Structure 1
Amino acid sequence: MRITCLVSILLLFAWFKTSATIPQQFSVKAGYIVDHGSKWELKEVQQQKTKPFEIGQKINLGYNRNDAVWCYFKVKNNDTTKAANVWLCFDNYHIDSLTIFDQDQVFLMGDRTKGQSTFMSTMGYPLHFYPGQERILWARLTKRTSFFDFSFNLASTSQLEAQSSKKMTWIAFFIGIAFLLLMINGILLAMTRNRLYAYYIGYSVLTVCYVVVTTNFAKHLLFPKLLLLSEIRIFSGALWYIALSYFLCCFLALKQHQPFKYKIINLLCGINLLLVLFSAILLWIYPTFDFRYFFISGYVIFMLAIVVLFWASVAHLKVERDQAIYALLAFAPQLAWGGCLILKTFEIIPYALGDSWMIFASLYEVFLFGAVLSRNYVEVYLKNTQLMQEVILEKENSLRTINHVQLRERRNIANIIHDNVGSKIAHIMHLFDMKNAKLAKQNIRELASDIRDISHKILPKALDEGALVSSLRSQIAILNAGLDDAEIELFCYDFPERIEEKWIYDLYLIALEAISNSFKHGKARLVTIEFYGYADSYHFQFTDDGCGFDVQQTGMGFGLENMEKRVGYYQGHFEISSVEEEGTVIQIVIPA
């Protein structure tokens, strides 16, 4: 963001042209006269009285239709010892035609001609003077249909070369950056299929077209023989702004957050698009048609759209602050340019910000949004990468937990076998050594019964048939038989006796784990287990009257974490609440 703003500021300073100084050895006297309807020839103009015309003075005809301006120049080389060269320059390089009448020579250049200026920064005509020579020239400037203004000055070859090189370098540099951002966002479009990148690419391409035409880059370097650059400039500018409006609608998600403003912007863009199409068709069929009201309507709608988008950006501050700030930053120079243009069109103010400001605004937006979209994707990518790492870490922890559980359960099985089965087998072998086969057979029968009981304790066979409640009742009966001052109770409410769910094995082990924790850690005297059956879920509650603990400070131990993971595997909900000296409650909800 900082780099984008810095580049934009550099562009702003680079674009403001300083006034060219007149070579000291020259003096000029000039005048002009407006030829309404372009009716006069040179001989008729020479008989007319001209108005004074000073260097740098702006001649502004406003909206023009087939008018011409004739300019008279008397230029003198004041140096009587040296010959000198100078250029007569006109700052508007989008004049349809500029005809220079220099004694017997006639030179033609302009947008609607095949002739072009030597320099990109101006329309210039070269003049060579002998020592002390004075020359009189006439110039005829025409603009078929559009706003028409210009000024003139005298400049040396070195001045114009420096200006053109500077301008050409900056335009090429920033267009290069724009295409780099286009390439990046094109890749992001291919990767994400997000239409926001498509809108950005479309509007950026139109921006580059508008800048290339408006800065004279296209006429000077790319298409010197093309005669419709003035129209391309106007239409590309209109389409560029329509594309920008749709991009901002998508960027701010106005359709979801501000549907009313979204509809207004859609309507305004639709009207502007129709104006572009109608004017293009009329221009092709009736080249002399008066487009005055098309231009004025387009500018008014253009300004209304700017205001609505600015309003929407301000309102969006409450939804997504960063996105809204980016949109407001992009609109700041454009709002100033559009406002001045409208006020100047209706002659409320004398001057408007020039094309240079609009070029700055358009390139600024391309850089700003290109950087923002690229940065947003990088942030999302980094967040996704971090999330993937967290998921991987969580899986590793889950696997580690499963290994711990398996190891603990294997140790429990090993202890049971060692303490019960191992000692009885040793006793049976001793009875066989003592030749007491009868007593040995009796111990073998008891050992088989013990092994069956152990297998039922580990995982009752009835669970394979879905008998969760009966399996747990049998185990609770065995546990109650071994308790002196404590008791375990099991209650079922609309809970089926048999249930075909994979989680019954895990819930059986969870119930035994909860009972064990209540007596081992909670010192409980009563453990109550409640099962509830509902149409869409199953609820389980384990309550004890033990010593309890502070969940916030103590946290869940290994056993409780293992319970939560098992429940989470089946998209269930696990919740534990406990108060010191008041007992503990564990609640589990598993979807049906």
Structure 2
Amino acid sequence: MRFHILLSVLLLSLIQFVCVSSSWAAAEPLITLKSKLISYDIGNQVYLREDPTGKLTFDQVKAQRALFTRSQQEAPVYGPSSSAVWAVFRVRNNSPEDKWYLEVGSSFLHEVDLYRETTNGNFEKIKSGAGQPYESRPVKTNRLILPLNLPAGAEHTYYARFRSRNILRFPLQIATMPALYEKNHTIDLLNGIYFGLLFALMMYNLFVYFSLGDKAYLFYILFIFSIAADTACIRGYLLEWLPGPLAWIVHIRLFAGLAILFSLWFTNAILQVKQYLPKLYRLRWIIVVSVGIIMLLNLLRLYVWSFAWMLISFIPVYLYVYTAGILIYRRGFKPALYYTLGLAALGIGILIYIAKDNNLVPETAFTESSLQLGSFIEAVVLSYALASKFNFYKLEKEQAQAQAMQQAIAFSQELIQSQENERKRIAAELHDSVGQSLILMKNRILLLKKRLDDPERLARHADDLTETVSHTISEIRTISYGLRPFQLDMLGLTQSINGLADEVAEGSGIDIRVKADSIDNLFPKEQEINVYRIVQECLNNIVKHSGATSAHVNIIRENGQIQLSVEDNGKGMNPANTQSAPKSGFGLRGMQERLSILTGKLQIKSAEPQGTIIQITLPVTTLAPVLTPATSEYVS
């Protein structure tokens, strides 16, 4: 019984060995080389085995050759994976050429080891990949090219081991060096044009940044530089120029993380997200934290997790930038449209490239260069967006200047008209009051001459003449006071305001209370009249328009500012018209002009339960020394 069991096991093992041997025998030679002018894609002609631990040795793999399965893909792909993948293939050289090479189409693979069979049946190992020093490569180029050493008419078996820190994908082809050079020549030329154009755009915008000082241009330069540098990492160019101790920059995809950060800062700078969308601006920290997680995972040597998290991080990045671009464009900022289109070009390029890396779309010249094409279109469109932003603000500034000029012209016309009206009023007062008084005095003087012989009548006419002269002098003083209050020079600004309130209260019957800190000598003499006229205009508006019975004037001096408020209990102003009020009335516009000279601020609001409050803030650069706080309360 035991003999039969043992015999059955031996027979099964023999059958398995024969089947495996016959499968390899039937497949040998898997690849036949005939012409040296042709490159042979062998991705779907190799046998593969995945090593999840990455610890299998060559001898172990060779001894377990039956565990290999034939590839079903032209470019084998395992996605983001930390596994090692072994490939085995046998090649027969039926061409006269003996210098054949294996090219691995993914220049960013971290480990690529080739075990090639020698004439005596042993295997020798050649190490390559992005994780090896550039100087140790058998063929010093940005691509991973390994010599096969396959003599004409010979037939050899090759093993290859692949491992990545990002997407594990390895298109394979066998070709002679002239065939590889001819095939890659066009690609190298296009890459040169791509990097050259990006460099030109960066230099141009660098000069613009030095001229304008706009940080948006600086962030654009850093963003485009990061994209170009990351592309150079993917294509294998950067390792050639980086010193060995700095090779880790390539391995951890540092420039990809920087591109995410600079895209965020560039977005905030060009679109002014903080101003237009403050709530969205607060979410920028989600992206910053995501980049920090990427760097932390790299430091922990969890490279595959870092790459996967980087892909996930693109979701909040694009949600942020597209939301900002669309919403701000809808608010009338036209450069946001070009910004959004530029980022869309990059996003489409990235999606096509990722789809190609996962064999979701075929690998063609277009899909292979989609990342570079998208980033180039994005760089051009974003540069145009920056120019559009400059023109947008330039046009906005010109329109604001034109509007300010029109307002200045209108104000000047109104000011001239006001001066003419004031002259007309003064002329009328001089004609109707002072002129008539002078005529009356002239007539009475003539009568005096005729009554010299009558002492009684002479005395009476002399008294009338004296009264007329006094009245005329009073009228002249009133007119002069309207032109320039004498109290400003004699009593100071604080007492002048108190006197003004007294006059307005006496003439209108309104109860006006003034509570004022001393503000004498806080303003230059030529500016005190502006403060006085502002208070005067506020009180005149109360008399003319409010229908109030009482008013309060408060002047508070604190923290290098004068807080002036005038409140009444009248019918108040329509809140909808408070913003347009300074534009509608010349008096309030005059207040605005005087406040602009004083660099002050005006706010008009409704009082409770009724009335109007005018609040004015005046800055004081140099405060006069006051030993004790002088506050006066004045009731008119």
Q: TM-score range by the shorter chain?
A: 0.5 to 0.7
With over 3 angstroms needed to count, the CA separation of the structure-2 counterparts of 1:123 and 1:134, relative to structure 1, is: same
Instruction: Report the counterpart of residue 19 of structure 2 in structure 1.
Output: none
CA distance in 1, matches of 2:516, 2:266: 59
Match of 2:314 in 1: 306
CA drift of 1:399 comes to 3.9
Cα offset, 1:119, TM superposition:
6.5
User: CA, structure 1 residues 246+528, in 2 after alignment: closer, same or farther (shift >3 Å)?
Assistant: closer
Q: Work out the CA distance in 1 between the residues paired with 2:287 and 2:515.
A: 64
Match of 2:420 in 1: 407
Structure 1 SS opposite 2:567: strand
Correspondence list, 1:86-101, <5 A: 89-95=103-109, 96=111
Q: 1:387 aligns with which of 387, 394, 400?
A: 400
**Closer, same or farther: CA 542–411 of 1 in aligned 2, 3 Å:** farther
Structure 1 residue 391 displacement after superposition: 3.4
From the superposition, tell whether residues 589 and 491 of structure 1 become closer, same or farther in structure 2 (CA, over 3 Å). farther
Q: Deviations for 1:258-284, whole angstroms, at most 9, x for unmatched residues?
A: 5895565454333222112222xxxxx
For residue 213 of structure 1, report the CA deviation from its aligned partner.
Answer: 1.8
- Equivalent in 453, 467, 474 of residue 499 of structure 2: 467
Q: Which amino acid aligns with 1:270?
A: G
CA, structure 1 residues 26+588, in 2 after alignment: closer, same or farther (shift >3 Å)? closer
Residue 233 of structure 2 is aligned to residue 173 of structure 1: no
Cα distance between partner residues in 2 of 1:257 and 1:101:
61
- Is 2:232 the partner of 1:212? yes
Deviations 1:319-345 (A, max 9, x none): 545569956973686489579959988
1:243 aligned onto 2:243: no
Q: How far apart, CA to CA, are the structure 2 residues paired with 1:350 and 1:162?
A: 22
- State the secondary structure of the residue aligned to 1:467: helix
* Residue 152, structure 1, aligned to residue 166, structure 2: no
Q: Is the 8 A contact 1:207 1:362 kept in 2?
A: yes
Contact conserved, 1:58 with 1:149, CA < 8 A, in 2?
yes
Equivalent residues in 2 for 1:47-126 (5 A)? 57-60=74-77, 63=81, 69=87, 72-76=90-94, 89-95=103-109, 96=111, 111=130, 112=132, 113-114=134-135, 115=137, 123=145
Q: Take 1:413 and 1:152, find their aligned partners in 2: how far apart are those partners?
A: 102
Q: 404-413 or 29-38, which moves further after superposition?
A: 29-38
d(CA) in 2 for partners of 1:367 and 1:425? 83
Cα distance change of structure 1 residues 398 and 26 upon mapping to structure 2, 3 Å threshold: closer
| Residue 185 (structure 2) pairs with residue 161 (structure 1) | yes
Give, as a single letter, the amino acid of the residue that structure 2 aligns with 1:471: E
AA partner of residue 216 (structure 1): G
Whole-Å separation in 2 of the counterparts to 1:326 and 1:401: 45
- What is the rounded CA distance, in whole Å, between the counterparts of 2:569 and 2:470 in structure 1? 34
5+ residue gaps, structure 1, are 1-21, 280-293, 477-489, 516-526, 544-551, 576-586
> CA deviation digits over 1:469-515, x for unaligned, max 9?
542466x5xxxxxxxxxxxxx34246449999723444566689x59
Paired letter, 2:315: V
Kindly state the Cα deviation for residue 151 of structure 1 after the two structures are TM-superposed.
1.9
Aligned-pair CA distance for 1:401: 2.9
**Alignment of 1:456 onto 2:478:** yes
What is the correspondence of 1:488-499 to structure 2 with a 5 Å cutoff?
Answer: 490-493=508-511, 495-496=513-514
- Verify the 8 A CA contact 2:78 2:169 in the aligned structure 1: yes
- 1:433-448 paired onto structure 2 within 5 Å: 436=449, 443=465, 446-448=468-470
SS in 2 for 1:207: helix
Deviation, 1:307, is: 3.2
The one-letter code matched in structure 1 to 2:258 is: W
1:264/1:52 Cα in 2 relative to 1: closer, same or farther (>3 Å)? closer
Kept after mapping to 2: 8 A contact 1:213/1:219: yes
Give the whole-Å Cα distance in 1 for the aligned partners of 2:146 and 2:78. 21
Q: How does 1:13-28 map to 2 (within 5 A)?
A: none
Give the letter aligned to residue 538 of structure 1: E
In the TM superposition, residue 210 of structure 1 has moved relative to its aligned partner by 0.7
Q: How far is 1:414 from its partner?
A: 2.9
Q: Which residue of 1 aligns with 2:552?
A: 533
The letter for the 2-side match of 1:150 is P
* 1:250-265 map, 5 Å: 250=268, 256-258=278-280, 264-265=286-287
> TM-score, normalised on structure 1?
0.60
Q: Give the conservation status (yes or no) of the 8 Å contact 1:98–1:109.
A: yes
Contact 2:280 2:320 in 1 (8 A): yes
Give me the whole-angstrom Cα distance separating, in 2, the residues matched to 1:443 and 1:540: 46
Classify 1:556/1:93 alpha carbon distance in 2 versus 1 (closer, same or farther; 3 Å): closer
Deviation, 1:305, is 2.8
1:533 counterpart SS class: strand
What whole-Å deviation, never above 9, does each CA across 1:204-251 have from its counterpart, x for those lacking one? Answer: 44323211222233346x45x758758615432552365257548856
1:167-226: CA deviation from partner (whole Å, max 9, x where unpaired): 2222322343245446645766x446xxx7766555444323211222233346x45x75
Cα distance in 1, alignment partners of residues 139 and 326 from structure 2 = 52
The percent identity for this pair of structures is 9
Counterpart residue type for residue 151 of structure 1:
L
Partner residue of 1:270? 292
Deviation per residue, 1:285-316 (Å, 9 max, x gap): xxxxxxxxx24432443344333445556766
Question: Structure 1 residues 25, 386: closer, same or farther in 2, change over 3 A?
Answer: closer
**TM-align CA RMSD:** 5.9
Q: Is the 8 A contact 2:104 2:144 kept in 1?
A: yes
**1:65-93 Cα shifts (integer Å, max 9, x gaps):** 66664654445559xxxx99998644223
Q: For the Cα contact (< 8 Å) 2:287–2:316, is it kept in 1?
A: yes
Counting matched residue pairs gives: 491
1:53, 1:134 → 2: CA distance?
26
Deviation of 1:416 after TM superposition, in Å, equals 3.0
Contact persistence 1:470–1:497 (CA under 8 A): no
Q: Select the residue among 542, 563, 582 that pairs with 2:587.
A: 563
**Bigger mean CA deviation after superposition, 117-126 or 207-216:** 117-126
User: The residue matched to 1:537 in structure 2 has which SS?
Assistant: strand
Shift of 1:405: 1.9
TM-score by length of 2: 0.57
**Aligned partner letter, 1:149:** F
Work out the CA distance in 1 between the residues paired with 2:353 and 2:187. Answer: 27
Per-residue Cα deviation, 1:126-146 (whole angstroms, up to 9, x for no partner): 9999xxx76767777554553
Letter in 1 for 2:290: L
- The answer on whether the counterparts of 2:444 and 2:465 sit within 8 Å (CA) in structure 1 is no
SS in 1 for 2:585: helix
The CA distance in 2 between the partners of 1:97 and 1:341, in whole Å, is 22
| Other structure's SS at 2:170 match | strand
Per-residue deviation, 1:413:
1.8
Which sections of structure 2, spanning at least 5 residues, go unmatched? 1-33, 331-335, 453-457, 488-495, 519-530, 555-564, 596-600, 606-610, 617-636
Q: 1:265 to 1:142 in 2, by over 3 A?
A: same
Give me the whole-angstrom Cα distance separating, in 2, the residues matched to 1:356 and 1:341. 12
